[in-house]
Chains A and B, each alone.
Chain A
Amino acid sequence: MTALLEIDALIDNPKTRIVVCCGSGGVGKTTTAAAIGLRAAERGRKVVVLTIDPARRLAQSMGLSELDNTPRVVKGSVGPGQLHAMMLDMKRTFDEVVLAHAEPERAKAILENPFYQSLSAGFAGTQEYMAMEKLGQLRAADEWDLIVVDTPPSRSALDFLDAPNRLGSFLDGRVIRLLTAPAKVGGRSAMKFLNVGMGLLTGTLGKIFGTQLLTDVQTFVGAMDSMFGGFRERADRTYQLLKAPGTAFLVVAAPERDALREAAYFVDRLAADEMPLAGLVINRVHGTGVPQLTAERALAAAEALEENGSPNSSAAAETLAAGLLRLHAERMQIMDRERRTRDRFVSVYPDVPIVEVGALPGDVHDLDGLRAIGERLGGTE
């Protein structure tokens, strides 16, 4: 029997300072992060929720109308704590890092560099990196005693943990060093002394991208040179922060095969990186008030009604009764499938605590909806 993931114990513990919600797309990860934030605040914590790319109405439910990269107070939470929320603006976060690390003139040169502009807006991994950067900033500010982070909708489960490193290793990768080497030794003349491989490299890059882009990259790297160490260091520090006591990872999934397979990847990966996993949240799990009535019996009864009718009730009532029974049969089949899917996960990961969150008929778009999810998470529904 697998252990129950006790969300309330987790968020009530003052030692818990960061909760990271990760999982594949479409499983309600952002909603879970927001619901946990609200519940923690209403139970007395001073919380900030960092969301990456929330659906419009979910953002509105927390009063976030714009992407302004600053935590805002969420109005309407009741209880002793306080809830802030913010949406990540990755470009602005990147700009802030540059401004914080370079003297004004150099910072200006970087911000205006066309290559920097495309890197900060579109680099695969910038979003992940900047989410981590922002998390580091929020933690350093020490204004909140709990930070709940939603993670970017990554293509693969691993992007989120890898991205900070990827940007770092890109910036001091071999090609960059090769490219910028001539500039450092003193301009074009130095090219002559480099080997043929180098010529091939710049030649090919020039042909593909045009020489302008290469110049931009070289200028950018030149200007960023002093910051490289800073970038690596920051990425490392955030990575360490994730491993530190006080951080808890929640893997979020839906009771479906693909989502739980992704969840399994996350669990493996977190273990491999020695990241502290608190447990698995399975969203949208179905339940019933009449578990004793099996799908088979309900279907048989529905068929009996539809075929034979009943002597003492109207045709309309028969149809309604048969409808209720068919719905119940469908519900029982869904539950059975969900249970089997979950059991497969449990048999491989018996030690991962799990909390199941009941399915709501519709989407969440206000604090009441988030509160209802929170109650399901806390098991106090």
Chain B
Amino acid sequence: MASTPGPADRPTPEETPQESLGASGPDGERGLGPANGPDWEGVRLHVVSGKGGTGKTTLAAALAIALAAEGGRTLLIEVEGRQGIAELFGIAALPYQERKIAAVTPAQLGLPGKGSGEIFALAIDTEQALLEYLDMFYKLGRAGKALQKVGFVDFATTIAPGVRDVLLTGKACEAARRKGPDGRRAYDAIVMDAPPTGRITRFLNVNSEVAGLARIGPIHGQAQAVMRVLRSPETAVHLVTLLEEMPVQETVDGVTELHDAQLPVGGVLVNMVRPPILDAAAVAAVDGDHREEVALALGEAGLGGRSRTAETVRTAVEPLLDPLLAQAREHAERVELEREQRAALQQLRLPTYELPLLGEGVDLGGLYRLAGELKRQGAA
């Protein structure tokens, strides 16, 4: 998890060109990378999920930046039509088209090394993806427009929500395996800002979702191909959580569901972590024997105001003491709850990364700071 190979000694594509989506996938010949490399060496498709409100989109973006840090090229995919990526990067709404949204150098992440990486983004539009897909198989031409007109796409994705998911995951898998004319990968990594934990297994388990609908035909074939990529070591599903009871519970449940569906669980990204300042023992100490001493220290730190004598200082400090202690007790209680939640996460035995709470909310600077943090902790 120390230094990582630079762009020059980046592993060259080790697969034969004919292996594309639809051909047979890898059968687990690739494991995790060298012990000193990043934790997800060999993973090309990073799926980022998490409970609503945990900062899933933010961390997906930070991961895409971190993965590009050493001269790579990453694609950040959005599937829920919320334009969260555009919002985060402060750019205009993304079209259904891959476009470069940011660049990154190691220096920007506070790391040594040279090179410049690129981050591309894509907001997938289900309707267009379905038409594009149909066109690929049936050469629809202008008939596609007619289908669109009668509300066909709405209908198709309504009667079979699985079809929509196949299209979305299919697009990500395709990008993950796409190669340029020179035989090199189009992208070093794909990061997908996926649906929340509660829906993620169903979303990724496209095979079983469409199995009941289409037993044969291209959708079936597509689902199978997508499933092979998703279940391969090329994919990792990361879950974002907070150190709070509900998100942690959802994370634990989510990991079980992913395991049951044989989907590759990646790491746990613990977001908005605040450093503990005082623990319960410290608070107890202030409450008990040290109360007078602490009051004295507060006075000497200048909180006695203009008072001159020890007595008046004490009088000025006294009203502060109880409210400050009440705050400390709440804090200690939270620290204790967080400790329990951290222990619950440790039970999962998954690589875990902790990202700090950014005081002023997440702006572009904060995003790069989070990316640097992910990189330092070995997530990229």
Contacts and interface: CB of A to CB of B under 8 A. Distances in A.
Nearest to B334: A361
Interface in A154-187: 155-156, 170, 173-176, 178
Interface in A273-292: 288-290
Interface in B84-136: 134
B169 interface: no
Interface stretch (A38-46, A100-108, A116-124): A116-124
Contact of A200 (B146, B285, B324, B334): B146
Given A55-B249, A204-B152, 8 more contacts: A197-B150, A204-B134, A290-B319, A311-B300, A316-B290, A316-B293, A320-B290, A327-B331
B246 interface: yes
B2 interface: no
Contacts of A55: 246, 249
A123 B161 contact: yes
A295 to B, nearest CB: 11
B217 A321 contact: no
A288 B327 contact: yes
B156 interface: yes
B53 A24 contact: yes
Given A156-B82, A210-B213, A317-B290, A122 B246 contact: no
A24 B82 CA distance: 13
A210 B150 contact: no
Given A26-B51, A328-B324, A320 B294 contact: yes
Contacts of A242: none
Nearest to A319: B282
A324 B324 contact: yes
A210 B163 CA distance: 12
A363 interface: yes
Nearest to A154: B52
B168 interface: no
B293 A313 contact: yes
B159 A115 contact: yes
A202 B337 CA distance: 57
A210 B300 contact: no
A324 B285 CA distance: 12
A201 interface: yes
Nearest to A122: B161
Contact of B215 (A175, A201, A210, A257): A210
Contact of B244 (A119, A205, A363): A363
Nearest to A305: B301
Interface stretch (A62-70, A88-96, A330-338): A330-338
Contacts of A208: 134, 156, 163, 214, 217-219
Interface stretch (A135-143, A244-252, A296-304): A296-304
List of 7 A-B pairs having minimum Cβ-Cβ separation, nearest first: A26-B53, A289-B323, A25-B52, A317-B293, A310-B300, A301-B301, A321-B297
B360 interface: yes
B302 to A, nearest CB: 5
A136 B326 CA distance: 46
B155 A170 contact: yes
A313 B147 contact: no
Nearest to A176: B155
Nearest to B210: A209
B337 A118 contact: no
A127 to B, nearest CB: 12
A333 B159 contact: no
B216 interface: yes
A313 B300 contact: yes
A227 B68 CA distance: 55
B155 A361 contact: no
Q: Taking chain B's interface residues, is the majority helix, strand, or loop, or is none over half, making it mixed?
A: helix
B301 A321 contact: yes
Given A123-B158, A175-B151, A325 B301 contact: yes
B286 A207 contact: no
Contact of B359 (A170, A213, A337): A337
Given A317-B293, A323-B277, A304 B302 contact: yes
Given A24-B52, A301-B303, A362-B334, A118 B158 contact: no
B267 interface: no
Contacts of B181: none
Nearest to A205: B156
Contact of B285 (A119, A313, A320): A320
A330 B244 CA distance: 19
B360 A337 contact: yes
5 contacts: A25-B52, A153-B52, A208-B134, A312-B296, A323-B282
A56 interface: yes
A300 B156 contact: no
B143 A200 contact: yes
A204 to B, nearest CB: 7
Given A25-B53, A209-B160, A209-B219, A175 B212 contact: no
Interface string A182-206: 0000000000000001001100110
A320 B286 CA distance: 7
B258 interface: no
A6 B324 CA distance: 30
Nearest to B146: A197
B19 interface: no
A357 to B, nearest CB: 15
Contact of A26 (B52, B215, B290): B52
Contacts of A24: 52-53
Contacts of A217: 159
B273 to A, nearest CB: 13
B186 interface: no
A288 B213 contact: no
Nearest to A124: B161
Contacts of B151: 173-175
B294 A317 contact: yes
B161 A302 contact: no
Contact of A363 (B154, B161, B245, B325): B245
A259 interface: yes
Give the one of A197, A324, A326 with max B CB within 10 A: A324
